Amino acid sequence: MTRLSVNINKIATLRNARGGNNPDIIKAAMDIESFGAQGITVHPRPDERHITKQDVYDLKKVVTTEFNIEGYPDDRYIHIIEDIKPAQATLVPDKPDQLTSNHGWNTVKDAKQLREIIEHLKKICRVSVFVDANSDMVKGAKDCGADRVELYTQSYAENYLKNREQAIEPFVKAAQTAKEIGLGLNAGHDLSLENLEYYKQTIPWTDEVSIGHALICDALYYGLKNTVGMYLRQVR
């Protein structure tokens, strides 16, 4: 079964736009779990423009499904993982001021850095590495000791309507590589109701999809409970 982990960053963005606690992201996370999602994802960036460090500590008290914390593995992030002990740490190569993730790790070039960090974090939780749909990068993640890779799916989503078979081809190859070498497989970035079902059907051994922006946008029209249900149906 492919699990749905809902990224709640955008809910925090809305809250932060006005200050205060509306919408309440703690309640939102609890509701999302009650609606059937099997995980909650957050990405506490250094500037705290959406999820704050305090949010992560507050969420730890209430999240009962898999808690996935994304981030660049600097000292701040590693300290959070050590304290929170989530189900999964997803390492991304984002710069501190980056708007959103836009590329995966070069797991060959950055092997030394990743290997040391992964060795430490694996004593705490499962470790996933964010990579482009490239078999060499998948193999590099395995060599660095990662438990899983998360395939960066932006190019698939961008080209889905043009030619979905062509768009998904590199992802199938990368996913097959992960399967052959014993790596768990996640996916995320711009997956939506439009393109998620085909991705899941084509790569059914995907362990988890992490979806935030599209899901929260859809919730404006369909309601949060209904939207979570719609996404769950896409991955079943």
Decide if pLDDT at 75 tops 80: yes
pLDDT digits (tens, 9 = 90+) for 118-157: 999 999 999 999 999 999 999 999 999 999 999 999 999 9
| CA–CA dist 192, 156 (Å, integer) | 11
112 contact partners, CB below 8 Å, separation of at least 6: none
> Which residues have a catalytic role annotated?
43, 70, 189
Among 109, 153, 162, 160, which residue's Cα sits nearest to residue 132?
153
| CA–CA dist 132, 61 (Å, integer) | 33
pLDDT digits (tens, 9 = 90+) for 86-129: 999 999 997 766 656 667 999 999 999 999 999 999 999 999 99
Q: What is the mean pLDDT of residues 57-76?
A: 97
**C-beta atoms surrounding 79 within 10 Å:** 11
68 contact partners, CB below 8 Å, separation of at least 6: 5, 39, 40, 41, 42, 86, 87, 88, 89, 90, 128, 208, 210
